[in-house]
Structure 1
Amino acid sequence: MSEPTPLPGLEVAARPPGPVEVAARRTITALNASGLISERDALLCQSLLSISRAYDIAAASTAKAYAVANLHAQLLATLAVLPTAQGGDDDADPWTAFERNLARGASIQHTP
């Protein structure tokens, strides 16, 4: 049984999600629980999930490094327009932790 989505209209993971998609889902859940997003943000959140899923697939495949880099850029661009909590540099903040993990991922060399 799949877990419910934090916002109506978001796609439920059809297969076990990869680490970036899991992190994206956790971020959306945390933002929703904090009252920072609402149903009007469902399209943006679904975009984040779709890009995260594609990122996981590309990173696990023999995709060219530029494909992963392009998906990473799209993921960061999508994240940039989501609302953040005040004091977003707090280490305990899920949003900050997610951004930090993405930055670490950007430094990983993906080889074909």
Structure 2
Amino acid sequence: MRPPVAAHSLDLGEYHRELTRQCNGKSSLTASWRREMRALSIAAALCAALLATGYLIWRDSFAWPRIDLPLHGMIALGIGVVLTFLLGAGLMALVFYSARRGYDDLADKSSDSQNGDHNA
């Protein structure tokens, strides 16, 4: 099989048709590649939204009144934020672990049999 044509000599439609012809009619744009590009596009859009939100929060934070928080208060606030985040992450990990191991299904079946629902 000869190498694909240089993209700069043709427009993208002709380039894709030439690649398809060289690959014996099989499309060079596979479904997995399309899924990867879609996921990459979504990730890029989410990153852009996160950056824009961060910028707006940073810009507007200068308009808020200043709060003089002593060092001990800042440390307590930081520890509280970190522990709250860890608690949420741990609980989400338990939810995913429980769902993957099938513990939720077992609990659901046992509750049906305890309620007297034997028709299921």
- TM-score tier, shorter chain, comes to under 0.3
How does the TM-score come out when normalised to structure 1? 0.23
Structure 1 or 2, whichever has the larger Rg, is 2
| Higher RCO (CA 8 Å, separation ≥ 6 residues) | 1
